[in-house]
Structure 1
Amino acid sequence: MSRCPGWEALDVRDAAPDGPVAFSADLSPASLLAAYRAGVYPFPAADEYTSALNEVVFADQDRQGRIRLVGEESADPYAVSWWSPDPRPVLPVSATHLSRSLARRLRNRLAWSTSLDRRFERVVRECRAARVPQWLTEELIASLIRLHDLGHAHSVEVWEDGELVGGVFGVRVGSVFSMDSMFFHRSGASKVAVTDLAARFAQAGGELLDAQRDSPHVRSLGCVLVPREQYVRHLRRIARDNPPMPTATLPARRLAQPTESH
């Protein structure tokens, strides 16, 4: 397998558009943050079988140098695949809005509130509970919590009468916020979380929310597809000393603007 000394030296422009671009078992906070800055995010194998399957399926691409091994040799690099899809689904913060029906519910019935970084680990674990396979491994969660402690990873929470009913979390790189996962226990709560994140991020100089993987759900949020090269160029040119996002607990009703569209 072709080896790359670190994420800063990885060039994903010629990598496969719909498969892993690298393997590395290093999920340390430093490695994780460097990967996000390179436009790459992790997808740990849920078990040893999946790790072994990665090696079998991608062996030819490994030998051809189309997939890189990042960092020093580790016990099982195939335990974590790293992805950078092309095209990339992104949501400009200025274009983020709720559907008319959800905005109407917020104005008329739902007394929800939102917060930032109030329950980061709880949001991560709620996201994990609903995922199959469980790519949010304990090692990855520990690194994400450390990045949160360092001010790089954040969560938005949606509350109903003191109960956590939805949320989203991810990693900030300058004016890009890469959303790792979201969850909801009430219909519409994850969409409110994303819209609230966009509003707070915009106030802190943010420009794009990165949805990582394309799907009908992220399309329903308003995501558009951009070429991977354009996304990576954006990451490389942005400043990394943006101001912090506002943390106050706020009424979700403020997100329900009269001009919302479907």
Structure 2
Amino acid sequence: MFTLNCNGRLLIIDKPIVMGIINTTPDSFFAGSRKSGVDAALEQAAKMLQDGATILDIGGQSTRPGSTLISENEERDRALPVIEAIAKAFPEAFISADTFYAAVARQSIAAGATIINDVSGGTMDEGMLQTVGTLRVPYICMHIKGTPQIMQQYASYENVVKEVLDYFIQKLSACKAAGIHDIIVDPGFGFAKNNTHNFQLLKHLHTFSILQKPLLIGLSRKGTIQKTLNIPAADALNGTTVLNTIALLNGARILRVHDVKEAAEAIKLLEAYQES
């Protein structure tokens, strides 16, 4: 069991939970996750919470391979009104701000977010770790090499599992030095990794239990599913459920998904199977 202090509220993870993705971007890879206005985002948030989401992850910048980098001001203007509105409408929800900008992280917590989700692991803004440490909120630390714009150039490893594990051992030390006490680790499926790397990480996911931190998995409708099955993201829900189930069997505690209902059903069925 893991207990996280989310800005004064406790999030107890004694079984796997679901994080629903709400993107305030016009260019995220899955069109179904794009919510361009506050009203649309509120509607999506209500549905996700009803379907079983514990965390809502709000992002104002696409981090798909080759995406266009936008400024912290533009990201803030997209994401903060949505965070503020959802926090007001659904005070029971735990809101995660998906950003690699320290200033946006600080403003997001002030607007009602309670978790910071940083795909860069603190590498794209040198002030991020110190900022999160000062804010005293949980930090989702993801593995990446390079930036989303060029990361696929760095998809080279002698042993991807060992190298990602070593990365987290170093990052956990840096996070603790910055005053971050509650850390969630995300292996970063698809971030500077090809299909083979992604499947190797999934197969050996249990290795990361040595870190003794909640493990977040983001496989929802990603390129690994699309390329393996030769289908578009719109048709990748079934493949997502299959890989999420494998991840749960190998120790995943948080599923970051576009489709909350299906992820929650996978968790419930797996629990029934394990308890039988």
* TM-score bracket relative to the smaller structure: 0.3 to 0.5
Q: Which has the higher strand share?
A: 1
Larger RCO (alpha carbons 8 Å, 6+ apart): 1
Q: Which has the higher helix share?
A: 2
TM-score relative to the length of structure 1: 0.32
Bigger radius of gyration: 1
TM-score relative to the length of structure 2: 0.31
